[in-house]
Amino acid sequence: MAKLCIYNAIIVSGSGTNSGGIIIGDDGKIARNMAPGEEPISADNVIDAGGFLLFPGFIDAHVHMRDPGAPHKENFSSGTTSAACGGVTTVMCMPNTNPPVTDIAGFEAAVNAGKGSSYVDFCIQAGLSANNLDHVNELWEAGITSFEAIMSDAAEKDLLDLSGYLQAALKIEKIDGVLGVYTGSRELLEQALLTLKRQNAGKVGFREFSNTRKPIGEALGITSVVEICRVTRVKTVLRQTCTARGFEIARIARQHDPSLPLAVEVTPHHLHLTNSLLDSVNGFAYMIPPLQTPQDCQAAVAAIADGTVNFIGSDHAPHEETAKAGTDPWLVPGGVPGLDTIAPAVLDLAAKGSISYEDVARVLCEQPATIFGLSDRKGFLTTGADGDIVLVDPKFKREIERKDIISKAGRSPFEGYRLCGKVVASFLRGDIVSEKGKLKSNSPRGRFVPRGEIQWKTSDA
């Protein structure tokens, strides 16, 4: 007998929608798709979708789980509960844990933290600096999905200058790896922070503090990374792109060189929220890179619609509420929770007609799976893939409230925003893990998912 049969649904993929359903076998794999109007078969769990949208389980390729090292901020249990209830069935964990994922010991610590406590499947990404290039091969062979490099952030120690980044890119290209990069201009940022400190010996507002990370910094950083990508042909992911000029540079680069192996990520908060929010909720809207202007938000949404943006990652970065409530921007940590709100934030854009539901499937399912080597198991509703399913009510409107934030962070800058589109239920390998925003799983069944074959289609990622 099959494990799950969902019928009377609208199945959404990046290429279109059609009515039908899905059947998940006892092995947790997709057995087949159902034809329009086909009668349900006998299964352990038979669900009439009632015309709701059916997507592959959403993938969040940018999650700071804080585990191991800072479980008071988040851990796999709390973080993946947020994910499951928000329709995310696979999370890709960033390496800034303790110990950091910069060698095999750090990788194993991260995997062990997730085993037995994760409610959704998880991948591990590795940190990259000039100090751990000797560990690149072993980390890639262990199944990490990407290497993550930081070029500009005054708070970080393991920064790569352009020479170091070029050396790293050449190293990653040799193993056909994926290189995620946080762009910017370290020189401009450090000078802006120094000037601000000199000119404002007293209190500095969060918007003024955030403005030290100027759009020109992202533009210069992306330009350098694009040129190194062009020369080395390393598979490159521009993380957290957030300015109109940044999207334009990436768009033009791929138009000029259609085979350029360049992918673009944007976060949900950079699609909806503007820097004016920093004047009202202060540290609870402070993240890096900071919120931008309404024009930048519009450019980000347009970049999804025209295919410039390949995928959306939440940059889920929870901190204790007491730390975020501070009034001194020099001391308040950057980062906001995102797993609870990534799906409704993107679905709302489709409900408004700014993007299509096919775009939703592309940026939350198909392209993150393809870019990071998961497409044989995740992101697609193909026979033999994992039975990870999300049912969505596209017409459900709600105002995001504090009680909706399951993450230990407790508060979100999306509080008070009215969004259209709600995850009704999510399934992991055919087993229900959430329903109507509540965890339904009796035990954590999430698994570590090692990277498989990467099949980039260059400009189409």
Decide: 426 and 91 in contact? Cβ < 8 Å.
no
Token representation of residue 46: 């038979």
CA-CA-CA-CA torsion for 63, 64, 68, 73, nearest 10 degrees?
-120
- For a pLDDT cut of 70, what percent of the chain falls above it? 98
pLDDT for residue 458: 52
CA 25 vs CA 45, 49, 128, 148: distances in Å = 11, 18, 40, 36
Across all residues in the chain, what is the average pLDDT? Answer: 95
Name the residue among 162, 166, 88, 156 with its Cα closest to residue 121.
88
Lowest mean pLDDT among 3-7, 65-69, 93-97, 182-186: 182-186
Burial of 41 (0-12, 13-18, 19+ CB in 10 A): middle
pLDDT digits (tens, 9 = 90+) for 88-117: 999 999 999 999 999 999 999 999 999 999
Question: How many Å is the Cα radius of gyration of the chain?
Answer: 21
User: Any residues with CB less than 8 A from the CB of 240 and at least 6 apart, and which?
Assistant: 62, 182, 265, 266, 267, 270, 289, 313, 315
Residue 122 CB neighbour total at 10 angstroms: 25
Q: Element (H or E) spanning 30, and its range?
A: strand 30-34
Is the predicted pLDDT of residue 123 greater than 70, yes or no? yes
pLDDT at residue 229, as a whole number: 98
Please determine, for residue 332, whether its predicted confidence score (pLDDT) is greater than 70: yes
Residue 158: pLDDT above 90?
A: no
Q: Is 50 helix (H, G, I), strand (E, B) or coil?
A: coil
Phi-psi region of 315 (alpha: psi -120 to 50; beta: other; left: phi over 0): left
Q: Which residues contact 153 (CB under 8 A, 6 or more apart)?
A: 159, 182, 184, 186, 189, 288
Task: State yes or no: pLDDT of 442 exceeds 90.
Answer: no
- pLDDT > 70? residue 42: yes
Residue 153: per-residue pLDDT: 73
> Among candidates 146, 131, 142, which has minimal Cα distance to 176?
146
Cβ within 8 Å of residue 74, ≥6 positions away: 64, 65, 66, 67, 316, 318, 407, 408, 409
Separation CA 122–CA 102 (nearest Å):
18
pLDDT band at 161 (very low <50, low <70, confident <90, very high): confident
> At 301, which helix (H) or strand (E)?
helix 294-305
Beta strand pairing call for 418-428 and 431-435: antiparallel
Q: Model confidence over 339-389: pLDDT tens digits? A: 999 999 999 999 999 999 999 999 999 999 999 999 999 999 999 999 999
| pLDDT of residue 156 exceeding 80 | no
Q: Above 80 in pLDDT, residue 279?
A: yes
Q: Is residue 450 within 8 Å of 141, Cβ to Cβ?
A: no
| pLDDT greater than 80 at residue 457 | no
pLDDT bracket for residue 200 (50, 70, 90): confident
Q: Quick check: 120 and 89 in contact, CB under 8 A?
A: yes
Q: Where are the beta strands (DSSP E) in 296-381?
A: 311-312
End-to-end CA distance of the chain: 37
Superfamily of domain 57-379: Metal-dependent hydrolases (3.20.20.140)
User: What is the percent of the chain where pLDDT is above 90?
Assistant: 90
Residue located via tokens 């020099």? 330
Please give the DSSP secondary-structure letter assigned to residue 366: I
Token reading at 456: 């980039």
- Residue 382 sits at φ, ψ, to 5 deg, of -105, 150
Phi, psi angles (nearest 5°) of residue 164: -65, -35
- Distance (Å, rounded) from C-alpha 142 to C-alpha 145? 10
